[in-house]
Structure 1
Amino acid sequence: MGNPIKNVAVVGGSGNLGRAAVSELVDAGFTVTVLTREGSTATFPARVVSKAVDYTSVGSLTSALEGQDALVSTIATVAIAAQKPLVDAAVAAGVRRIIPSEFGINTRFLGKEPIGTILQGKIQTLNYIHEKSKQNPLFTWTGVSTGLFFDWGLPHGSIGLDKATKTATIYDSGDEPYQASNLPHIGKAIAAILKHPEVTTNRYISIASFNPTQNQVLALAEKLTGEKWTVDHLPSSEQQKIGSEKLSKGDYSAFSNFLKKRVYGDGAGLAVSGPDNALDLLGLEEDDLEKSLREWLAE
């Protein structure tokens, strides 16, 4: 890669993951510029520069990316298809590494699954980046799958715990390990990729803060609260059905139903432990599951 990466532009820097990424990049010593929409009122830490851009204009994006070594996109799934002008601008501005908005489930193995219909924007963007990097070897990429956003998902219900009612929703047996990452952990991984770009050049990697089962998470919640929780047992196949009905009506909230089936269903096989977990490659360690739960319960 030659020179180290110093200047990093972030897209989606005011979102949940974006804020964690900006914070960890600043802590790691990078000079960070956040690209924002015209008229955005988002605020950022003191050392962070923000530049207003027109996301539909390659010219506007190219001038904003001049002098940037890397571009990190954390934009939400609904806006993913808008990444194409960003990719073109990054190439034109001489950006050397792009980390597109993959973060979540690994989109490289979705085949004909209905969840893949919803994630076409991600799939096509990475395919497009791959083509661009073949045409221009100086333009490189790293894709990162993180599994569920664990710390974000606890209050938002996607981990299946409701602390107000001490209720847990468990899909199938509850014994299937699943890939999950805390937002600061993902931010640290992004910084580590850019600190060691040579080991992650044109690679799709998977990381996890931990790979718990639903039953392990519930047992810890019960231990930490000193109470038995009420458990709703549901079949994951039902979630697939609900998702398919929603999708047939163009309702993209089907994603959360498909996700539950994909991640929690018995035999899913999506945990990333041992050599599959790229933390060693990045010089990072797993998070503490019990500590993550304790912090949420104390909020």
Structure 2
Amino acid sequence: MVKIAIAGGSGQVGREVIDALVATKKHEIVILSRNVKSAIGDNSSGITWRAVDYDNKNSLVEGLQGIHTVLSFIQLLADPQNTAQKNLIDAAIAAGVKRFAPSEWGSASAIDMPWWSGKDEIKEYLKKVNENGKVLEYILFQPGLFLEYLAAPYKTAKHLEPLGTMIDFQNRRAIVVEGHDAIMTYTTVKDVATIVARAVDLDVEWPVAGGISGNRVPISELLKIGEKVRGQAFTVEKVKLEDLEKGVLTASWTLAASHPSVAQDQIEKMMKVVLIGTLLSSAKGAWDVSDAFNQIVPDFKFTQIENFLAEVWEGKP
């Protein structure tokens, strides 16, 4: 049993992981909260809350006393200068925390995805704190895209909300980059949460590369699966890489659903940015994550993409 602190635990992915950790009945879970009123005990489920000020390192050091592992789910759009995460890392070191997982939970690279640019900055920050000798063991959990997003608009996880992508199963359509059959990684959030719960139990040192590869498929194969489970071919629109590089989207449609962290008056602009960024980054290999964690837990059976999608879309109009 170890004591685990969760930063950003009210978020969708964080809550999925918390549920998986609670289900093991092995660990004491501490949720760090900015809201003092929320910082109340809930020992019946093995969860306690601690009020912290992410702008105050001393507050964070106090909140991390006795913590073995920190899992961060801090929303990057709410921390544009990465102040909260940098302070959390510094405090973890000062408090003697052994393991740290920054707010990754996506692609192997943030190239052409400005909303995630903070991830690269945090990676460099973590490298720097260990440059003169290891003071903090850390891992980059990277599961690619959540497979549940291909079920949009249907909700198929307890906490993760549906989000549209460039492959739209509901409307049987897709946007692809001309000349690029991008490799995509899709992993269910449930599998990710289960893997994280297993990772916490590992006695071996965590690898920095924490790729979690549930399903690794080229776009062309995903479209074949889509045709099979949806009963007809998808309408595929091709866009040019050079247009996307200029911020020009020539497709006839864009994303609809947005993350709750996006301000209402910014949704339309953000959805275009996200779609362009996802298309560009996919063409440049950002979503082809490693299978590093698959090799650490070779017995784990990941949810298979075709089975998942067939079950979701069976009988759907």
Measured against the shorter chain, the TM-score band is 0.7 to 0.9
Distance 1:36 1:136, change over 3 A: farther
Residue 190 (structure 2) aligned to one of 165, 184, 189: 184
8 Å contact kept, 1:174–1:213 = no
Using the TM superposition, name which of 137-146 and 52-61 deviates more.
Answer: 137-146
Q: Post-superposition shift, 1:96?
A: 0.5
Could you report, residue by residue, the CA deviation over 1:57-77 in whole angstroms, capped at 9, with x for unpaired residues? Answer: 112211111111000001223
Q: Which residue of the partner structure matches residue 282 of structure 1?
A: 297
SS at match of 2:97: coil
Q: Post-superposition shift, 1:262?
A: 1.7
Q: Which residue of the partner structure matches residue 159 of structure 2?
A: none
Q: Which residue of the partner structure matches residue 158 of structure 1?
A: 165
User: How many Å separate the matches in 2 of 1:255 and 1:167?
Assistant: 17
Q: Which residue of the partner structure matches residue 144 of structure 2?
A: 147
8 Å contact kept, 2:73–2:102 = yes
User: How many Å separate the matches in 2 of 1:122 and 1:243?
Assistant: 25
Residue 104 (structure 2) aligned to one of 99, 102, 105: 102
Residue 131 (structure 1) aligned to one of 128, 132, 135: 128
2:309 is the alignment partner of 1:293:
yes
Q: Post-superposition shift, 1:25?
A: 1.9
RMSD: 3.2
Q: Which residue of the partner structure matches residue 85 of structure 2?
A: 83
Distance 1:269 1:162, change over 3 A: closer
8 Å contact kept, 2:8–2:33 = yes
SS at match of 1:187: helix
8 Å contact kept, 2:186–2:305 = no
8 Å contact kept, 1:34–1:51 = yes
Q: Which runs of 4+ in 1 moved over 4 A?
A: 39-45, 250-253
User: How many Å separate the matches in 1 of 2:101 and 2:206?
Assistant: 10
8 Å contact kept, 2:39–2:51 = no
Alignment of 1:1-299 (within 5 A): 6-28=2-24, 29-38=26-35, 46-80=45-79, 81=82, 82-107=84-109, 114-115=112-113, 118-135=115-132, 137-152=134-149, 154-155=151-152, 156-163=163-170, 165-172=171-178, 175-201=181-207, 203-225=208-230, 227-237=231-241, 238-242=243-247, 254-263=273-282, 265=283, 268=285, 271-272=288-289, 276-283=291-298, 284-297=300-313
Q: Post-superposition shift, 1:159?
A: 4.9
8 Å contact kept, 2:108–2:288 = no
Distance 1:16 1:42, change over 3 A: farther
Distance 1:233 1:154, change over 3 A: same
SS at match of 1:179: strand
User: How many Å separate the matches in 2 of 1:38 and 1:102?
Assistant: 23
8 Å contact kept, 2:108–2:142 = yes
* Higher share in helix: 1
Could you report, residue by residue, the CA deviation over 1:187-226 in whole angstroms, capped at 9, with x for unpaired residues? Answer: 222223222252424x22322110123333333333234x
Q: Which residue of the partner structure matches residue 247 of structure 1?
A: none
SS at match of 2:246: helix
Could you report, residue by residue, the CA deviation over 1:92-126 in whole angstroms, capped at 9, with x for unpaired residues? Answer: 1111000111221223xx6xx543x5544222222
User: How many Å separate the matches in 1 of 2:270 and 2:226?
Assistant: 31
8 Å contact kept, 2:151–2:313 = no
Which structure 1 residue ranges, 5 or more long, are not aligned?
245-249
